[in-house]
Amino acid sequence: MDNNSITEEELQRLNAISAFEIEAYNNGYNLIAGIDEAGRGPLAGPVVAAAVILPKGACIPSIDDSKKLSEKKREQLYNVITKEAISIGTGIVDEKTIDEINILQASIRAMKIAIEKLSVMPDFILSDAVSLADLNIPQKAIIKGDSKSISIAAASIIAKVTRDRLMYEYHKKFPTYNFAFNKGYGTEEHLKMLKKYGPCEIHRRSFKGVV
């Protein structure tokens, strides 16, 4: 990406959200993975995590926490990230496992799967708020990391787009609940359909409002 085509304000923002990566590079680390998940709150569907290793000095204009971006922008950035990244891993944990082990543990499991699926192992991990035990890799958990780290922001976009695409596929199988629109979240319409028809096979039975 040609830095000359980026506004000074955007360049300053990109420098700011690369600060954790720069610190890690200065401490001798070379392969830094950002990790985040999507889908902790929905009443249906899996939780999806992504691990992304960007090249040193990566410059991806408009990258940010996936929740702050439109669906169109997330899709655009997903394509850019998949081209720019050194490696991307994704982890998916289904609703039945979520019910068995709880959503936090399922999210952690998805993150660990995402790391395992990287084509190269990172030597440092930046995660969004969650510390990953039992990993022999140095790591730093950052509160609201998806807004403060370019690597975590990239992971949040990959995770969100991957999960949304899964929910579009589930919508074809279970159109009653309008998963294409609500992505499994507890919207008013979704709750009405649950009350009227009951849960389908991808609903999380352990979540309030499902049964």
Residues of the chain with pLDDT under 70: 1-4
pLDDT in the model for residue 5: 75
Q: Is 209 a domain residue? A: no
Helix/strand/coil percent split, the chain, to 5: 50, 15, 35
How far is Cα 174 from Cα 19, in angstroms, rounded to an integer? Answer: 44
Q: Is 154 a domain residue? A: yes
pLDDT in the model for residue 1: 46
Q: Is 102 a domain residue? A: yes
* pTM (global) more than 0.75: yes
Q: Which two tokens stand for residue 185?
A: 């979240």
How far is Cα 29 from Cα 5, in angstroms, rounded to an integer? Answer: 29
Q: Where do the DSSP E strands lie in 9-142?
A: 32-38, 47-53, 87-93, 124-128, 139-142
Q: Is 48 a domain residue? A: yes
What's the domain count of the chain?
Answer: 1
**C-alpha count within 13 angstroms, C-beta hemisphere, residue 167:** 27
pLDDT in the model for residue 4: 53
For residue 135, report the phi and psi dihedrals to the nearest 5 degrees: -110, 130
Burial environment of residue 79 by CB neighbours within 10 A (0 to 12, 13 to 18, 19 or more): exposed
Q: Which residues span the domain enclosing 55?
A: 3-169
* Residue count of the chain: 211
Q: Is 133 a domain residue? A: yes
How far is Cα 108 from Cα 36, in angstroms, rounded to an integer? Answer: 10
Q: What is the CATH number of the domain that holds 123?
A: 3.30.420.10
Q: Is 129 a domain residue? A: yes
Q: Is 101 a domain residue? A: yes
Angle between helices 150-173 and 19-26 (to 10 degrees): 120
Contact 183, 170 (CB under 8 A): no
Q: Is 41 a domain residue? A: yes
| Cα-based torsion angle of the residue sequence 112, 118, 123, 126 in order, rounded to the nearest 10 degrees | -60
